[in-house]
A and B are shown apart, each in its own frame.
Chain A
Amino acid sequence: MNRRDFIKSGGLAFIGSLAAPAIGSSLLSGCAAPSKQAGVQMALSHFGVSETLLRQVLAAALEKGGDYADLFFEHTFNNSIGLQDGAVNRCGSNIDFGVGVRVLAGDRTGYAYVENITADEMLKAARTAARIAQSNQSHQPVALTEKKLTHNYYSVQTPWENVTVKEKMPYVQRLNDQIFSLDKRVQKVRANLQDRTSHIFFANSEGVMYYDYRPMVVLNASCTMEENGKYENAGAARSYQKGFEFLTDAEVETIAKEAVANTAILFAAIKPKGGEMPVVMGSGGSGILLHEAIGHAFEADFNRKNISIFSDQLNKKICDAHINVIDDATIPFNRGSLNIDDEGIDGQKTYIVKEGVLTSYLHDRISAHHYGIPSTGNGRRESFRNMPIPRMRATYMEAGNIKEADIISSVKQGIFVDNFTNGQVQIGAGDFTFFVKSGYLIENGKLTQPIKDINIIGNGPKALADITMVGDNPKIDDGSWTCGKDGQSCPVTCGMPSALVSKLTVGGES
């Protein structure tokens, strides 16, 4: 297929303005400060709406006395190609298109969405959402003005709209071939490349209007190996907000090596003896500890409702003074970064723990209003089908000053963990868990026997207070982390330097 044809027919033919080139490819490619005016104007024509209509819909949304309303337009293209049994032999695409209408009345939310963007449908949705408010005082939305995005954390060189299946296939094939070439025990490989391009257009009753172009890519591989009749399976992935330029031989090689290493270690690994013990968290993916132990409990919806274990802890010292924890929307190309959140607040870097003190919750518009402070820009939604709620972005701990080797050698009997699959938390009780795919026993200050497939459970405030050593090796894990909350999935990342938690409960045999 001819690339240009694909842009024309595959990009914008679906939504009206054939005269316009594909949004994003022409506007944002490679430039750090995109032409914003063109962005909003093109978005209006892309979604087939006028500013007048937007104001009408916002007015309808507020006609029962709501305090605030917003419209979230989305057009998302998802593509995937997959390899199984040695060949790239599956592919797929999905198109998702619609607008969500939200009305706030105090802390309360009314929400409706439509897939068919017509004036009638939008007005109907607005009147449904409006019912959350029940007063006679309606107010008019102000005139709409474009909000200037101050940064672009995910500028794209080659948009995915311009890339054919044929151009993507060799990378996935190479990933397979490298995995097979790295270890004779490999029996099966599955590899997938998913790319996603979202056009987000937003307008609210305060007069803010913005357009954001959001790319995303995930490349992953899993492999099954056999040794003496026993099978093991593990994988590796990388994900960024990047275009086709993400796909390089170096990236493929990194994932191939990691997938093989993650699987190979499992044959020698055992389940440790379970119970309470010191746990050394390796750098990188150990950020899952922050995400589960404190990140969710810092999300301000739980705190404004007073149902988080940290609800009364703001501005209190909760851990060692060497500890700084950040939730960040500004890391270039990071899977969790945001130029602007899903309710019109600039992407930003938020210290949630500074020198051991809980300095900020993670706010959306509702909680910021509740606490009388500016939002931290954490209002995110899975798609136009969902209302925004406080969500993490990239959550990580800053560097300490201890060498990882010194942390490990301080532990007489414990475990070292650095490869995880999933975690969970109970916000109110504070109990959190994460599943360790592989790690090592620590015996007399040395890494010894590999371990695998164990769950670790702890209590958020206790675990945080039990972090006694922080390494000098900070690292963000760029795997395909996806966070679930209230039925909504959001892309996030996490990171951590190596650190010692003096006591956690480790699953295992008795």
Chain B
Amino acid sequence: MIASTHKELAQRAMEYALKQGCQAARVTLYANANTAFELRNGEIDRLQQASENGLSIGLYVDGRFGEYSTNRMNARELETFIKQGIEATRYLAEDPARVLPDPSRYYKGGLPDLEQFDQKIDALLPDEKADIARKAAEEAIGKDDRIISVDSSWSDRKYESYRLTSNGFEGSSRQTSFSVYAGVSIRGEGEARPESGWSESSLFFDSLPTKDIGTKALERVLRKLGQRKVKSGKYTMVIDPRVATQVLSPVMSALSGSALQQKNSFLMDRIGQKVASDKLTLIDEPHLIRAVGARYFDAEGIATQRIPVFENGVLRTYYVDTYNAKKMNVEPTISGASLLVLQPGTKNLDELVKSVNKGIFVTGFNGGNSNSSTGDFSYGIEGFLIENGKQTQPVNEMNVTGNFVKLWSQLAEVGNDPRLSSSWRIPTLVFENVDFSGL
């Protein structure tokens, strides 16, 4: 991974930048190594392996800022690159908001290991990896006459970064991840060949679930057979935790400093106000051990901390980095979310569905977008009709349309079933009175 020679290179790059006329600089090094095996019907179809390195440097020159990156890790070339970067940056207009963070806000070290790296990654043999993907496929192969194709895959990755700023921050972090996937295509009605899949991932090899991947993929695709669009109208929307990020992600974008500074956020000037249902409590929990998304510092080196984002529907924070804080003349917070925990409720999916009279259980989104200024959205969906507390007809080729502020005020229930392998831990969500269009 990051060699000590590369760390020295980063330090030298920093020194060189300062010597050449930068008042401040930030250097980031990264290294990444990954392998992947993709199988088709249990046979290896693709194998990929690679490792890579890169360096990026942010140059603060005479009140101006430019950012440069390269994968050419050679001292002499870097010097030329930096020199040219400084020259180019000098042409720009001044931007007084471009400064490094106040060093008192940097992470200073000393906290326990967040356990993000599994040494085992280097000990796994290619055959072991391919076998896991093969077994996932074998759970589905031959289990149904309608199967056309079973894809499965293994991938693993290790990632390391090293950050350095000229006003005293130095930090590194490294992570591993392992994942396994299976997807099944079957003969549907007419020419259609519905497909579905299942995947699991983990920071640690020993905690990666490797059973029932192919079985679940097959179950999921078989359940899709007979999909229809149903009548347009208002339904209760129940969202599968696997795809629930779709309705949270635009909200998180609306909280970002750059959106607010550009007056391009549907949550401008709403801190301290109730903007969502009582059921929405969302906490940024960056310090959970062995958890995806956990970190002690952000890309600027700022120490992370537990932050309530929404408490019972009341908006508590924006995500404002150093630059946008200066621009807007507000206190900076942190540049982005780390590990979001949406406070779970007590019911599981079946219990939630039981109380729904007329609804749609959304298991997949298909395209669509939202308006960042107004919060209006419209997405394609597939899933299941819910009638009198039961999932009935599989549905597809429908759209769900609305406004995020209104939608989150209609959050009626939160399930108890977040996926812990995600850095956004969102359980099943139930929203009332949502517009679906179909027939």
A residues contacting B by CB (< 8 A) are 1, 6, 9-10, 13-14, 81, 84-85, 87-98, 107-116, 128-129, 131-132, 164-166, 169, 187-188, 190, 224, 226, 230-233, 266, 271, 274-276, 292, 305-313, 385, 387, 421-435, 452-459, 461, 505-510
- Cα distance, A274 to B229, chains bound together (Å): 13
- Cα distance, A427 to B373, chains bound together (Å): 32
**Residue interface bits B77-98, CB-to-A below 8 A is 1, else 0:** 1001101110111011111001
Contact of B376 among A14, A110, A271 (CB under 8 A): A271
Whether B70 contacts A428 by the Cβ 8 Å rule is no
Residue of A nearest to B45 (CB): A108
Whether A307 contacts B149 by the Cβ 8 Å rule is yes
Given contacts A306-B149, A454-B401, A506-B399, contact A188 B263 (CB under 8 A): yes
Q: Is B436 an interface residue (CB 8 A)?
A: yes
Whether A457 contacts B366 by the Cβ 8 Å rule is yes
Whether B94 contacts A89 by the Cβ 8 Å rule is yes
Whether A309 contacts B77 by the Cβ 8 Å rule is no
Given contacts A188-B262, A233-B373, A427-B195, contact A95 B396 (CB under 8 A): no
Whether A429 contacts B195 by the Cβ 8 Å rule is yes
Query: Please, which residues of chain B bring their CB within 8 A of the CB of A88?
Result: 92-93
B residues contacting A by CB (< 8 A) are 40, 43-50, 52-53, 64-74, 77, 80-81, 83-85, 87-89, 91-95, 98, 126, 148-149, 185, 188, 191-195, 224, 227, 229, 232-234, 262-264, 268, 327, 366-374, 376-380, 382, 396-401, 435-439
Q: Beyond A89-B64, A429-B396, A453-B370: 7 further Cβ-contacts under 8 Å?
A: A14-B72, A190-B262, A271-B376, A276-B439, A428-B193, A431-B396, A435-B369
Whether A510 contacts B234 by the Cβ 8 Å rule is yes
Max chain A Cβ within 10 angstroms of own Cβ: one of B66, B81, B193:
B193
Whether B262 contacts A224 by the Cβ 8 Å rule is yes
Whether A91 contacts B89 by the Cβ 8 Å rule is yes
Contact of B369 among A95, A385, A455 (CB under 8 A): A455
Whether B195 contacts A97 by the Cβ 8 Å rule is no
What are 16 A-B interface contacts by the 8 Å CB criterion?
A: A81-B92, A89-B95, A90-B92, A95-B72, A95-B81, A112-B48, A165-B88, A274-B437, A306-B148, A309-B193, A311-B191, A427-B195, A429-B195, A430-B192, A431-B366, A433-B368
Residue of A nearest to B81 (CB): A95
Closest CB in chain A relative to B169 CB, distance in Å: 21
Residue of A nearest to B148 (CB): A306
Whether A429 contacts B194 by the Cβ 8 Å rule is yes
Query: Please, which residues of chain B bring their CB within 8 A of the CB of A115?
Result: 52-53, 71, 73
Closest CB in chain A relative to B381 CB, distance in Å: 8
Contact of B92 among A89, A128, A422, A506 (CB under 8 A): A89
Whether A428 contacts B48 by the Cβ 8 Å rule is no
Residue of A nearest to B84 (CB): A10
Whether A95 contacts B371 by the Cβ 8 Å rule is no
Residue of B nearest to A427 (CB): B195
Contact of B437 among A90, A275, A430 (CB under 8 A): A275
Whether A509 contacts B373 by the Cβ 8 Å rule is no
Given contacts A271-B401, A431-B397, contact A230 B47 (CB under 8 A): no
Whether B93 contacts A108 by the Cβ 8 Å rule is no
Contact of A507 among B81, B192, B399 (CB under 8 A): B399
Closest CB in chain A relative to B350 CB, distance in Å: 26
Query: Please, which residues of chain A bring their CB within 8 A of the CB of B366?
Result: 424, 426, 431-433, 457
Given contacts A306-B193, A312-B191, A424-B366, contact A275 B373 (CB under 8 A): no
Whether B68 contacts A92 by the Cβ 8 Å rule is yes
- Cα distance, A454 to B74, chains bound together (Å): 50
- Cα distance, A292 to B376, chains bound together (Å): 23
Residue of A nearest to B371 (CB): A453
Contact of A93 among B68, B77, B376 (CB under 8 A): B68
Whether A505 contacts B398 by the Cβ 8 Å rule is yes
- Cα distance, A89 to B43, chains bound together (Å): 53
Whether A9 contacts B84 by the Cβ 8 Å rule is yes
Given contacts A307-B149, A429-B396, A433-B366, contact A510 B380 (CB under 8 A): no
Whether B46 contacts A274 by the Cβ 8 Å rule is no
Query: Please, which residues of chain B bring their CB within 8 A of the CB of A96?
Result: 70-71
Whether B188 contacts A433 by the Cβ 8 Å rule is no
Query: Please, which residues of chain B bring their CB within 8 A of the CB of A97?
Result: 70-72
Residue of A nearest to B401 (CB): A507
Query: Please, which residues of chain A bring their CB within 8 A of the CB of B67?
Result: 90-92
Closest CB in chain A relative to B144 CB, distance in Å: 15
Whether B193 contacts A232 by the Cβ 8 Å rule is no
Residue of A nearest to B379 (CB): A455
Whether A508 contacts B435 by the Cβ 8 Å rule is yes
- Cα distance, A188 to B437, chains bound together (Å): 34
- Cα distance, A289 to B53, chains bound together (Å): 39
Contact of A187 among B77, B263, B378, B401 (CB under 8 A): B263
- Cα distance, A307 to B437, chains bound together (Å): 28
Whether B47 contacts A457 by the Cβ 8 Å rule is no
Whether B436 contacts A510 by the Cβ 8 Å rule is yes
Residue of B nearest to A190 (CB): B262
Whether B45 contacts A232 by the Cβ 8 Å rule is no
Whether B379 contacts A385 by the Cβ 8 Å rule is no
Max chain A Cβ within 10 angstroms of own Cβ: one of B92, B98, B398:
B92
- Cα distance, A97 to B77, chains bound together (Å): 13
Whether A453 contacts B376 by the Cβ 8 Å rule is yes
- Cα distance, A226 to B81, chains bound together (Å): 42
Given contacts A93-B68, A429-B192, contact A87 B397 (CB under 8 A): no
Whether B438 contacts A505 by the Cβ 8 Å rule is yes
Query: Please, which residues of chain A bring their CB within 8 A of the CB of B66?
Result: 90-93
Whether A311 contacts B193 by the Cβ 8 Å rule is yes
Whether A128 contacts B149 by the Cβ 8 Å rule is no
Whether B192 contacts A94 by the Cβ 8 Å rule is no
